[in-house]
Structure 1
Amino acid sequence: MTVEDVARERWAQLMGAGGAQDRAPGEIVPADLPAPAGLVATGGRGHVTLAWEPVPGAIGYAVHRATASTGPYEPVDHGGGDVLAVPHGPYADTTGEPFREYWYAVAPLGTVTSMGPLSVPASAAAHTGGDAAVRVEVTADGDAGPLHRPWRAMVGSEHLSHLLCADTSGGRPIGAELREALRRVRDELGVQQVRAHAILCDDLGVYRLVDGRPRLDFSGVDRVYDAVLELGMRPVVELSFMPRDLASDPSRTVFAYQAIISPPRDWDQWSWLVRELTAHLVERYGLDEVRDNWWFEVWNEANLSVFWSGTPAEFWRLYDESARAVKAVDPGLHVGGPASAAVGWIEDQLARESPVDFVSTHTYGSPPLDLRPLAGDRPLLWTEWGVTATHGSEVNDTVFAATFLLRGMRSAAGRVDALAPWVASDHFEELGRPPRLTHGGFGLLTVGNLAKPKYWALALAQRLGDTELPVALSGDGAGGLVEAWAARSGDGVVTVLLWNATLDHTKADGDPELDRAVTIDVTGLPAAAYRMTHWRVDARHSNIAALWRTISEGRDWPDERQWAALREADRVETAEPSRVLKVKDRTAAVAFDLPMPSISCVELVPI
């Protein structure tokens, strides 16, 4: 067995483990791609950074490691789950032992089930102690093109009938606060669409049998979608799940709200339901509105048995019937999928003879892969994405999750049409309603609509101007740990966003060896002086979960006094007082420490 065979076998085992996809190991096939060239491994304090030349046609790369040049090479597992691959380099490995030499090799992926050969290996070792610094040079009078903001396209949410819920969680009104959460992400983050499950579930009464005859009622859908539009957003019409009276097996359900995952018992009735729903939406909201601004996505993660009890063939029939039904209303309406878990079934989706106007998929724990070689010019919608797919994981409430969001958004900019954080609010009941304030919920906002660190990450990114600026990084961990994103606004404000991050979940609480001293040099500044404001997200700043730990007094939910203290702290905090920054030779410099994980946003306003 060759080194490549061993690597593919181990990759297959990882892809089949943990329920990331319902696929038995051993199905990874060789991809018709060359090995990446130019792999360089550089040891630094607490990490090894890998860089390599991109391979045309690759959707991503699987980083492998061995203790000897001859192998065996194992995929590096940074603990994120799903697909342990990255869309590009550089990649910082922080999972190894310090001072131990490792050999690295990188393999290109044609799909998540096809892998090319390993690169020529390169070796390096991490070390400890000593100074570690990164320098960031920003060209303020440069122009790297319009800034792309992938977070603005879409956000995930709970099943949208939750907007109508009059119950409470932690004493807070569910429906009202979910509406406020969506309003807040719309107004403060610029998010335009919301994607959620279960618009066809029985709590909205869309389809039922009366005296043995089918009856449709879209009044519940109208209430939900009217609420979304009133918030200034638009819905993604996820065609799920199956109405009870149309299900072939109503006993097959998922989630606490018992969404039915069965194929239909009558395919003609399913097609009729989809066609009539689509026609109703067009009639109610206008053809131009729906055709120009809405997406029709077929089902959710049917490559997982937990979401689809039928066979793959039955799902593809569901897709075909649904796509034809949508297009029967108007050929210009946008329908696509497969809305799959862990980038599965993309090649199967694109092989359909039925219309595929966009490609949608999900992943957790890594930046989204680059599906452009597969999708061509179709829009790419990552309709679920996040730091982990695990309900109730503490990492969801951390600064680590915030830096993860920025890494993914920066990576996706310019190549992904939508990258939807899952989800807007902790008012979420897939596995039951929240048991306490900070319980590891997926939300950007807590119950009570307090901003978590990952909300502030996107809020700071939203401060970036419309013209992206050239950025060059150098030093220990540049590009692999420390990344930067800079932009200029029309009034000359220069904003530099930096973060220090690893994908390694074992370092979620930080590691002093990965902390860095950062210097920003901003060149090409036209004014003589600037007012500098420095916002920070870290263990002590803009971190509502950390504050709640200090004042909770063992409570699951705050009392009124504690709510007042939390609401007072619901803001992004500065790392230092605002000050005037003098410019010399059109250059200004700012220096500060940047722990891992943390985010800094430096804004320079001309005086």
Structure 2
Amino acid sequence: MTDLANPPRLQDDSEVDVLAVDALSTGTPLDHYWSRVVGAGRAHEALRADWQDHLTRAVADCGFEYVRFHGLFHDDMFVYRIDADGNEIFNFQYVDAVFDRLLGLGIRPFVEFGFSPGDLAREKNTVFWWNGHGSPPKDYDAWQRLITRTLEHWVARYGINELTHWYFEVWNEPNLDPFFRGTRSEYLQLYAVSAQAVKAVDSRLRVGGPATSNFVADQRFAGETEDVTQHIVAGPDTLDQLDWNPVWVEAFLEFAAERGLPVDFVSCHPYPTDWALDEHGRGAKLTRNSEATPSDLRKLRRLIDASAFPDAELHLTEWNSSSSSRDHTHDQLPAATFIAKAVNGGLGQVDSLAYWTFTDVFEEVGAGDELFHGGFGLITLPGVVKPTFHAYRMLHRLGDTLLGRTTFAVASRHSRSGQIAILAYHYPPEVDRSVPASFDNRQVADLTARTGSPRRLELDLTNLAPGSGVFTEILDATHGNAIEAWRRMGSPSAPTREQLDQLRMMADSTHLRTAHADRHGRLRLQQDLAPWSICLITAVANRTS
């Protein structure tokens, strides 16, 4: 199979993608970085039965290993308060209920320390419908005690060996005013006291940051706080001519090196957009080019390699096609194909790329007004899976050995079973952007979904088990596409229980077909792919060769 650096010469570049895979080729390790971490809204939502049901399925089908969410110390978790006599009261009952459940499901927490509890917050009710206290603590010593007591509680409950597998991230997007009503220096000091508290409990515990928002192409975040006069608002024709860079990462690494602070991992949020938060409201709300995510990951990798912390892991703890929970693109098929394309392009660069989020149980701007409201989730509130869910489910089927990749496919083998898994997709060249956001209505999302021309995938598989089955699964506009199934039933504003049962079944109904290798272990397969289709092909290598 041809490497990405030398993409295949197609018979007709507008119509045919040719793919040849030798099932017994040597290959290289394939790290499933895309399923290491997944996001969710806030800790309190994790107490809900539907949230837990959705996570159960996401772990089972998509293989997620860690989950990250906001609000660990928010008042609705009751972790910290100061009583009338000035005594600090610590209460971990709600946190225990959440973390016990996570571990019972086979997924670990990627802990985000934040935001401030109300009794420690310098300012209150700065962000989200649920009124997160996005401000520095007014007492850093008290904050350090909170971190210490929390970690000591977890050590007593789960054991230090378990905690060495966790990650501890300091805050969320402190460069944005609603999340952190303070300065960059105040965040760096917060990181210092937090990291010191973590390492004081056990030096093996992993701590990192700065968890900043998406890349920018100007100097708005060059100072202590955001300078709105430095904003560059570019149009679609000039957006990709700009030099996009991560926020605060270099300053964070330099600060840590100067102070001798630990940095076990670096985190930020590379949404491929020119805006960071709906409430932020600045920018034209455009998506960058379709290669923006792989490009950003490579830039981050180079930056860390050249820093004082070249061995630090790189975790992108939030990512999606946009940072809006009311972007109708999230519900539709192109968002799934975008995931496949971005993941393929980012292979070998980072340790995780956390999709934000696995569920539409998500209340940053309150509940969605309808079933398909453009929420981030892979799964809707009543448990209907979206095309994006299938993208991660199919990606999870890939093996641990990379046989090769092109600009339209990844081929792999499972080292234990010898099973071959190939993921191919059709991201139409007519759309040269990361899937455009669609606000207020579905007009842009629908137009994007209708864009593009069919292509043919010609597959030549060799060294398969003679006569063995080769199985093809197709996700396209009419198979496994929940929103189209909902439209076919008349777009009910409040689906009945019977309609929801039918929707769940139709959302799971991708197109399946079977072929067989010949007696020499070879199969030549042709598969027409409509725009935005994703195709999973599985087979078995001939281990007796």
* TM category, shorter: 0.7 to 0.9
Aligned-partner residue type, residue 445 of structure 1: I
Q: What's the counterpart of residue 465 of structure 2?
A: 527
Match of 2:34 in 1: 151
1:85-484 equivalence runs, <5 A:
132-164=15-47, 175-211=48-84, 212-250=86-124, 252-291=125-164, 293-342=165-214, 343-351=246-254, 352=256, 353=259, 354-365=261-272, 366-368=292-294, 369-370=297-298, 371-375=300-304, 376-471=310-405, 473=406, 479=407, 482-484=408-410
Query: Does the 8 Å CA contact 1:150/1:412 hold for their aligned counterparts?
Result: no
Counterparts of 1:451 and 1:495, CA distance in 2: 22
Question: Shift in Å at residue 225 of structure 1?
Answer: 1.2
1:157 aligned counterpart, secondary structure: strand
- State whether residues 485 and 507 of structure 2, in contact with CA within 8 Å, keep that contact through their aligned partners in structure 1: no
Provide the rounded CA distance (Å) in 2 between the counterparts of 1:377 and 1:262.
31
Distance 1:322 1:190 in 2: 30
Q: Aligned partners of 1:182 and 1:147: how far apart in 2? A: 25
- Larger displacement relative to structure 2 (380-389 or 221-230): 221-230
Call closer, same or farther: CA 1:435–1:373 in 2, change over 3 Å. same
Q: Cα gap change, 1:517/1:52 in structure 2, threshold over 3 Å: closer, same or farther?
A: closer
Q: Any conservation in 2 of the 1:508–1:597 contact (CA below 8 Å)?
A: no
**2:528 pairs with 552, 573, 593, which one?**
593
> Quick check: 1:602 aligned with 2:537?
yes
Q: Aligned in 2, Cα 1:248/1:488: closer, same or farther, shift over 3 Å?
A: closer
In the TM superposition, what whole-angstrom CA distance separates every residue of 1:463-522 from its partner, at most 9, and x where no partner exists?
223322134x5xxxxx2xx33333355444322210111552357314234x31220111
- Aligned-partner Cα distance in 2 for 1:466–1:225: 29
Secondary structure of the residue that 1:569 maps to in structure 2? Answer: helix
Matching residue within 497, 520, 523 for 1:560 = 497
Other structure's SS at 1:383 match = strand
CA contact (8 A) 1:488 1:494 kept: yes
- Paired residue secondary structure (1:283): helix
**1:191 and 1:599 mapped to 2: Cα distance?**
20
1:132-181 Cα offsets, whole Å, 9 max, x none, are 211111121102223211133111012121122xxxxxxxxxx1110011
The 3 A distance-change label for structure 1 pair 241 and 463 is same
- Whether the 8 Å CA contact 1:398–1:453 is kept in 2: the answer is yes
For 2:525, what is the secondary structure of its paired residue?
A: strand
Who is 2:488 aligned against?
Answer: 550
* Structure 2 unmatched ranges of 5 or more: 215-245, 273-291, 305-309, 437-446
* Aligned 8 A contact 2:23 2:541 in 1: no
Shift of 1:555: 2.6
Q: Residues of 1 paired with 2:162 and 2:482: CA distance?
A: 39
User: Amino acid of the residue matched to residue 364 of structure 1?
Assistant: Y
Residue 486 (structure 1) aligned to one of 389, 408, 412: 412
SS class of match (2:200): helix
The CA deviation string for residues 399-455 of structure 1, in whole angstroms up to 9 with x for no partner, is: 111111112222333321111111111111011012211111101111122211111
The runs of 5 or more residues in structure 1 that have no matched partner are 1-50, 54-88, 91-128, 165-174, 474-478
Partner of 1:578, secondary structure, is strand
In 2, Cα distance between equivalents of 1:333 and 1:606: 41
- CA distance in structure 2 between the partners assigned to 1:248 and 1:488 by the alignment: 52
In the TM superposition, residue 526 of structure 1 has moved relative to its aligned partner by 4.5
Change (3 A) 1:403 1:198: same
- The aligned counterpart of 2:449 is 509
* Identity within the alignment, %: 35
* Partner SS for 1:236: strand
- Report the residue type matching 1:418 in the other structure: S
Measure how far apart 1:537 and its partner are: 0.9
TM-score by length of 2: 0.80
Tell me the CA shift for residue 261 of structure 1. 0.7
Q: How far apart are the structure 2 equivalents of 1:242 and 1:597?
A: 42
The 2-side partners of 1:189 and 1:130 are apart by 33
Identify, as 1 or 2, the structure richer in strand: 1
On the 8 A contact 1:468/1:488 being kept in 2, the answer is no
TM superposition shift of 1:208? 1.2
Q: CA deviation at 1:194?
A: 0.6
Q: Conserved in 2, the CA contact under 8 Å of 1:427 and 1:447?
A: yes
Between the two proteins, the alignment pairs up a number of residues equal to 459
Answer with 380-389 or 488-497: which moved more: 488-497
Q: Which amino acid aligns with 1:316?
A: L
Judge conservation of contact 1:149–1:409 (CA < 8 Å) in 2.
Answer: no
Q: Which amino acid letter does the alignment assign opposite residue 594 of structure 1?
A: L
Counterpart residue number, 2:223: none
- Where in structure 2 are the equivalents of 1:21-40 lying within 5 Å? none
Q: Aligned to 1:518, which of 439, 457, 467? A: 457
CA contact (8 A) 1:532 1:581 kept: yes
- Amino acid of the residue matched to residue 148 of structure 1? D
Decide whether the 8 Å contact of 1:510 with 1:597 is kept in 2. Answer: no
Cα distance, 1:581 vs. partner?
A: 3.7
The answer on whether the counterparts of 2:409 and 2:422 sit within 8 Å (CA) in structure 1 is: no
